[in-house]
Structure 1
Amino acid sequence: MDYDPPMPGSIQSLERAAAILRLLAGGERRLGLTDLSVTLGLAKGTVHGILRTLQQEGFVEQDAETGRYQLGAELLRLGNSYLDVHELRARALVWSDDLARATGESVRIGVLHHGGVLVVHHVFRPDGSRQVLEIGAMLPLHATAWGKVLVAHDPVARAELDGVLKPFTKRTVVSPAGLDLECAVIRERGWASEREEAVEGTAGIAALIRDRRGTPLGAVGVSGAVERLTGGGEPLPALVAAVRDTARAISRDLGASPF
């Protein structure tokens, strides 16, 4: 007889932490330990322990003079990241459509996410062929043009690569030193490419998108058959120029300086 184990319930400490954050997000926005304890109906020791953890993670800050608590800068950073990604998608719609029409290839826009590149927008190759929508797919950092351009410019992306670099094909760069050398070239020329490093028969070209603060936000690029994207083993200059122009246009639309 089959037995279905019970579904795990919610984690009480996380529920309490969420309740504290919601209280700090509304009302006076600065509350003392007693205020939080009474409102939540919890012991001061329990609330203090949760606050201490939230403070260590940067989600909560304590005023040195009053002892009251307020939301921390880490929550603001996460919120801005969420808004930036959604703004990126909204701003990039027209530019990515134009890039697909100009190149005849599929276009992806990706952002750094949990050690990979999360595809947040995908435009099909405009030839009417059957294709699979890749929004939500994860691309490897070290084996795709999108990932490499992020690793080259974003220290966080490079830090997330510490460890073994998985080989996807015989062309995948699995040496950290080799990847660092390639990233130096990417920074100098302003774009990244890969040829059959993630998927055999496929190549990619990508360039960096910057936000209004000038920091790396994501990457835009084209992917397609090796024979269409490359000539003599190198990316076609016209495709490189189109990708770079699109990355600059999206960055400017997001408020980045053109210089």
Structure 2
Amino acid sequence: MATRVQSVERAAAILQVLAVEDAPTSLGQLAVALGLAKATTHGLVQTLRDVGFVDQDPESGGYLIGAGLLELGSRNVDLNEVRSRALNWTDALAARSAQAAHVAVFDSGEVLIAHHVFRPDASVQQVQTGSTHPLHATALGKVLLAYDPRAVRALGAGPLESFTYRTVTDRSRLLRELADVRDLGWAAAVEERHPDQAGLAAPVRDRSGQVIAAVGIKGPVDALCDARHRPRTALATLVVQTGRSISREFGHGRVP
């Protein structure tokens, strides 16, 4: 049986708490979240700060995910590799859903479309590959926010832009939605970027389990949602399955 090291587990728990917070977290808040004494929490946080995995805000004294950890955890995703590994699966996703399919990555604070498959009908459509979109108002962006601390930090501390009356601009509500994304394994954005348009998305992981991209579909609200604007379960399941299939192309879930 593998030996479990308590201090490592606690340090990992601290990083997990900080990863989902976009504002500095106080020592007291961390201690409560972890169920530890302040002195114990302080020792762990100071060690993480010393190695660059945690930063301390000079004004509030609160703690944030450190630049050193973000650099360590980041990787330059090869967009050509993403396209090539996702190509067949996104073609099938567009065909089976009858909607446009996209694969996107986090880039410079935005959602970057790495691959776009047209909706399989005769309507006029524009290529979106290479275009950028807001993180908080798209399903693809919400997946990246839910799993990538760099994306959360990129939102900054200012107000979130509103694109429609349904855009989630309240940070507390957005953080709750991101927790739901991690629980469900998929994200939705209904009329948050454009009226009458909805999107569903799921994560794409590499061999290590790190989320490196998001895959999803976009189309009319009445095609992706029911009469109460709730995402159709069958389509959400299809998107999740596609994300898992692309993840396997990157080695995730494969037995060595």
Equivalent residue for 1:155?
149
* Structure 1 residue 86: Cα displacement: 2.4
State how 1:1-259 maps to structure 2 within 5 Å. 81-83=76-78, 85-162=79-156, 163-231=158-226, 232-257=228-253
**Structure 2 CA distance for aligned equivalents of residues 75 and 169 of structure 1:** 34
Residues 77 and 212 in structure 2, CA contact (< 8 A), matched pair in contact too? no
SS class of match (1:208) = strand
SS class of match (2:76) = helix
Residue identity opposite 2:177 in structure 1: E
Give the direction of change, closer, same or farther, for the CA distance of 1:258–1:159 in structure 2 (3 Å limit): farther
| Cα displacement string for residues 9-59 of structure 1 (whole angstroms, at most 9, x for unaligned residues) | xxxxxxxxxxxxxxxxxxxxxxxxxxxxxxxxxxxxxxxxxxxxxxxxxxx
Give the direction of change, closer, same or farther, for the CA distance of 1:191–1:200 in structure 2 (3 Å limit): same
Larger Rg: 1
| Cα displacement string for residues 184-222 of structure 1 (whole angstroms, at most 9, x for unaligned residues) | 111101100010000011000000001122111110000
SS class of match (1:81) = coil
* Structure 1 residue 98: Cα displacement: 0.3
Residues 204 and 224 in structure 1, CA contact (< 8 A), matched pair in contact too? yes
Residue-pair matches, total = 184
Residue identity opposite 2:137 in structure 1: A
Give the direction of change, closer, same or farther, for the CA distance of 1:181–1:77 in structure 2 (3 Å limit): closer
Residue identity opposite 1:128 in structure 2: A
| Cα displacement string for residues 120-171 of structure 1 (whole angstroms, at most 9, x for unaligned residues) | 1000000121101101111110000000011011111111112221001111
Identity across the alignment (%): 43
SS class of match (1:207) = strand
**Structure 2 CA distance for aligned equivalents of residues 75 and 226 of structure 1:** 38
Over aligned residues, Cα RMSD in angstroms?
2.0
Give the direction of change, closer, same or farther, for the CA distance of 1:77–1:186 in structure 2 (3 Å limit): closer
Gaps of 5+ in 2: 1-69
Residues 150 and 157 in structure 1, CA contact (< 8 A), matched pair in contact too? yes
SS class of match (1:177) = helix
SS class of match (2:102) = strand
Output the TM-score relative to the length of structure 1.
0.68
Residues 248 and 258 in structure 1, CA contact (< 8 A), matched pair in contact too? no
**Structure 1 CA distance for aligned equivalents of residues 248 and 159 of structure 2:** 36
Residues 111 and 217 in structure 1, CA contact (< 8 A), matched pair in contact too? yes
Output the TM-score relative to the length of structure 2.
0.68
* Structure 1 residue 249: Cα displacement: 0.1
Gaps of 5+ in 1: 1-73
**Structure 2 CA distance for aligned equivalents of residues 156 and 77 of structure 1:** 9
SS class of match (1:142) = coil
* Structure 1 residue 82: Cα displacement: 4.1
Residue identity opposite 1:117 in structure 2: V
**Structure 2 CA distance for aligned equivalents of residues 76 and 227 of structure 1:** 42
**Structure 2 CA distance for aligned equivalents of residues 243 and 96 of structure 1:** 9
* Structure 1 residue 76: Cα displacement: 10
| Cα displacement string for residues 207-257 of structure 1 (whole angstroms, at most 9, x for unaligned residues) | 000112211111000000001110021011111111000000000111112
Residue identity opposite 2:208 in structure 1: R
